[in-house]
């Protein structure tokens, strides 16, 4: 299976943005979806795990959800800050394979 993300999104500081991640085969609800943030020149860091859980230290402006109807997961970031500018990757798995989405570049301008 694959995970399809928009290539890029942009929004203004203080606004809200949603990044989608569509599973191409199999149910999105069958396995957890994780979200990573990768700032330029840095390693990825987890921002959402198990569909909608926030690790400690991640602000509650980050929200994860799953929609079985569209077979997609979403990462919503509210109250955008310039520091949120990064590439965001979704990740999921099946019995034998772990898959990353292609990444979405978020520009906060």
Partner 1 sequence: QVQLVQSGSELRKPGASVKISCQASGYNFNMYAMIWVRQAPGQGLEWMGWINTNTGNPTYAQGFTGRFVFSLDTSVSTAYLHISRLQTEDTAIYYCARAAAPRTNWFDPWGQGTLVTVSS
Residues lying near partner 1 in the complex (CB under 8 A): 31-32, 34, 36, 38, 43-46, 49-50, 55, 87, 89, 91-93, 96-103
CA-CA distance, 29 to 58, in Å (whole number)?
A: 23
Q: Which is nearer to partner 1, 35 or 108 (CB)?
A: 35
Burial 32-46 (b: 16+ CB within 10 A, else e): bbbbbbeeeeeebee
Q: What are phi and psi of 73, to 5 degrees?
A: -110, 155
CA-CA distance, 35 to 44, in Å (whole number)?
A: 10
Q: Which is nearer to partner 1, 41 or 69 (CB)?
A: 41
Q: Which is nearer to partner 1, 12 or 30 (CB)?
A: 30
* Smallest separation, CB 14 to partner 1 (Å): 28
* Smallest separation, CB 44 to partner 1 (Å): 6
């Amino acid at each position: 299976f694959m995970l399809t993300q928009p290539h890029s999104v942009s929004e203004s500081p203080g606004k809200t943005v949603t990044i989608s991640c569509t599973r191409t085969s199999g149910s999105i609800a069958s396995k957890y979806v994780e979200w990573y943030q990768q700032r330029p020149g840095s390693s990825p860091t987890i921002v959402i795990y198990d569909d909608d859980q926030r690790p400690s230290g991640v602000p509650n402006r980050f929200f994860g959800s799953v929609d079985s109807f569209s077979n997609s997961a979403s990462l919503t970031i509210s109250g955008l800050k310039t520091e949120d500018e990064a590439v965001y990757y979704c990740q999921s798995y099946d019995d034998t394979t772990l898959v990353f989405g292609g990444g979405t570049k978020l520009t906060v301008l």
